[in-house]
Structure 1
Amino acid sequence: MQKGFIFDLDGTVYVDNNLIDGAAKTVQYLRDRGDKVVFLTNKSIETIDAYVEKLNGLGVEVEKENVINSNLLTAKYLSARLKSDEKVLVIGEKPLFEELQNQGIQVTEDDENVRYVVLGWDRQFNYEKLNHAFQAWRNGAEIVATNPDRTCPVEGGQIPDCGAMIGALEGATGETIEIILGKPNPFAAKLIVDEILQLPPENCYMIGDRLETDIRMGNSTGMQSVLVLTGITKQDMLDTASDQPKYVLNSISEIKEIIEDPKSKALDYQQK
């Protein structure tokens, strides 16, 4: 039976520019089986083309249609809701602007005539940008964020991600930002499972290193959730976690075990 595999990238397939051992062989193994493979990242500071180039450069063969990021998900969400004359104000980096414009979304710097504020990871985030988004909100704009990640794993540690921008704007408005695209939003899962993989959710595996995004999305949408311990989440964090994966693997290289024998060491590892 054909299966679908949705791989997170940072902390799952690679960390910074270092491919995780066995990642390329695992992806090739799945493709040789006839399974479908896509890559899904919440990171909004790179274009899809950049991810394709990076993966191919690391030895993981991939085409553009097999990579989805939170910028694309956000653009698709907005394009289905915006009227032809409505515009968005964007806090984020160049790849986010480009993806929105690629989908025909009009971007403006006018905080008085804007339908949505689009909030993404911005490494040049400052008070001026915060105030710009805040004034647009005061003028009636709805806030949409690309992803909820508080941090991004890098070699040797973590750095602040879009969650830091969300926290700043929530602190100013006093309201919770409800629309956050990317994982674990069911919008992302439905798009990938129904339109790209075209498989039943129970035949799809969501593989990632974060409990609150990767695992939560897998569990909430009926997919097989697989946690890898090569990124943010460590084994001892599972003891008190509300989002529990179905499988826990040391790394992506162990996926073959849960395919060939779901009751193998890979599943037992979770129960220790």
Structure 2
Amino acid sequence: MRGYVFDLDGTIYLGDRMIEGAAEAIRILRERGDRVVFLSNKPIATRQSYAEKLTKMGIPTSVEDVLNSSLIVARYLQKRMAPGERVYVIGEQPIHDELQSHGIALTGDSVNPDYVVLSWDRQFTYDKLNIVYQAAVSGSKIIASNPDATCPLDHGQIPDTGTFIAALEAATGRSIDLVVGKPSLIAAEAAVEHLGLQYADCFMIGDRLETDIRMGNDAGMQSVLVLTGVATAEMAASSEYKPAHVIPSIKEIVRL
């Protein structure tokens, strides 16, 4: 039995278009007894919406089989926050909802919160950048949902959370405190615990070298780069994050 941790955007689909062969590949893996989980860094949609999207594409999926950076942030804060501590969130409604569903105490007061969660926000402004900057220099812990600079769509790419992180780090002159999404080992642990297997028995399949492949390598999984999203074979050849396997698309995963 093997475990398969699949990225979504650029690996299973591009925007609303499923990548050819994705549904068939997942079906074959499941029928032969392997275990599958979906792990996305994208925090602007709910896990339920991802499950529904995959199911409509012909990949029957329950919400429990979807992990995203919002969930991983919520679980991390559950374990770390002390009584009375509060979290200020820069991000869209799905991450607010996920945090609240896990009992995380949120605050609308941006002055000296204990934590700031910095996430993808398509209404990001200078004022929001200043809020997180002032919190950072005042001692708040800054936790990012994911480090992706862009998100792939079927017509190109758009800026993601990593662009906000870069702006904040340029202003403060130091790194933020933590990123919990891929390539963090926090995300790897969440995926492998869900599968109930050892790292060495799992494949990490994705389209990004600096997140998917790096996490797979760091965690001791077999990393698999698909060429349907951001990274190219040329990028893989010159990257410090070398995939164990490079395949044209997800439909080749059943042959590994």
Letter in 2 for 1:218: G
Letter in 2 for 1:71: S
Letter in 1 for 2:215: M
Write the distance in 2 (CA, Å) between the matches of 1:166 and 1:113: 19
User: Residue in 2 aligned with 1:56?
Assistant: 55
Write the distance in 2 (CA, Å) between the matches of 1:254 and 1:213: 21
Report if the CA contact (8 A) 2:39-2:191 is conserved: no
Write the distance in 2 (CA, Å) between the matches of 1:97 and 1:49: 15
User: Residue in 1 aligned with 2:169?
Assistant: 170
Write the distance in 2 (CA, Å) between the matches of 1:239 and 1:208: 16
Counterpart secondary structure, 1:50: helix
Q: In the TM superposition, what whole-angstrom CA distance separates every residue of 1:27-58 from its partner, at most 9, and x where no partner exists?
A: 01011011110000000111101101111111
Listed as ranges, the gaps of 5+ residues in structure 1 are 259-272
Shift, 1:170, TM fit: 1.1
TM (norm. structure 2) is: 0.98
User: Residue in 1 aligned with 2:244?
Assistant: 246
Moved more, 233-242 or 120-129: 233-242
Q: Which has the higher contact order (CA 8 A, sep 6+)?
A: 2
Task: Select the residue among 217, 220, 223 that pairs with 2:221.
Answer: 223
Report if the CA contact (8 A) 1:111-1:139 is conserved: no
Task: Select the residue among 195, 216, 222 that pairs with 1:197.
Answer: 195
Moved more, 143-152 or 132-141: 132-141
User: Residue in 1 aligned with 2:144?
Assistant: 145
User: Residue in 2 aligned with 1:264?
Assistant: none
User: Residue in 2 aligned with 1:206?
Assistant: 204
Matches within 5 A, 1:60-71: 60-71=59-70
Runs of 4+ in 1 over 4 A off after TM superposition: none
Write the distance in 2 (CA, Å) between the matches of 1:127 and 1:225: 38
Percent identity between matched residues is 52
Shift, 1:172, TM fit: 1.9
Moved more, 106-115 or 78-87: 106-115
Letter in 2 for 1:117: V
Shift, 1:87, TM fit: 0.5
Shift, 1:111, TM fit: 2.4
User: Residue in 2 aligned with 1:236?
Assistant: 234
Letter in 1 for 2:226: V
Letter in 1 for 2:161: C
Write the distance in 2 (CA, Å) between the matches of 1:109 and 1:63: 33
Q: Which has the larger radius of gyration?
A: 1
Counterpart secondary structure, 2:80: coil
Letter in 1 for 2:200: E
Write the distance in 2 (CA, Å) between the matches of 1:59 and 1:134: 44
User: Residue in 2 aligned with 1:33?
Assistant: 32
Letter in 1 for 2:87: V
Write the distance in 1 (CA, Å) between the matches of 2:13 and 2:191: 21
User: Residue in 1 aligned with 2:22?
Assistant: 23
User: Residue in 1 aligned with 2:74?
Assistant: 75
User: Residue in 2 aligned with 1:94?
Assistant: 93
Shift, 1:92, TM fit: 0.5
Write the distance in 1 (CA, Å) between the matches of 2:88 and 2:170: 19
Shift, 1:135, TM fit: 1.9
Write the distance in 2 (CA, Å) between the matches of 1:21 and 1:70: 26
User: Residue in 1 aligned with 2:7?
Assistant: 8
User: Residue in 1 aligned with 2:254?
Assistant: 256
Counterpart secondary structure, 1:159: strand
Write the distance in 2 (CA, Å) between the matches of 1:155 and 1:180: 26
Write the distance in 2 (CA, Å) between the matches of 1:52 and 1:12: 15
Write the distance in 2 (CA, Å) between the matches of 1:138 and 1:204: 40
User: Residue in 2 aligned with 1:266?
Assistant: none
Counterpart secondary structure, 1:98: helix
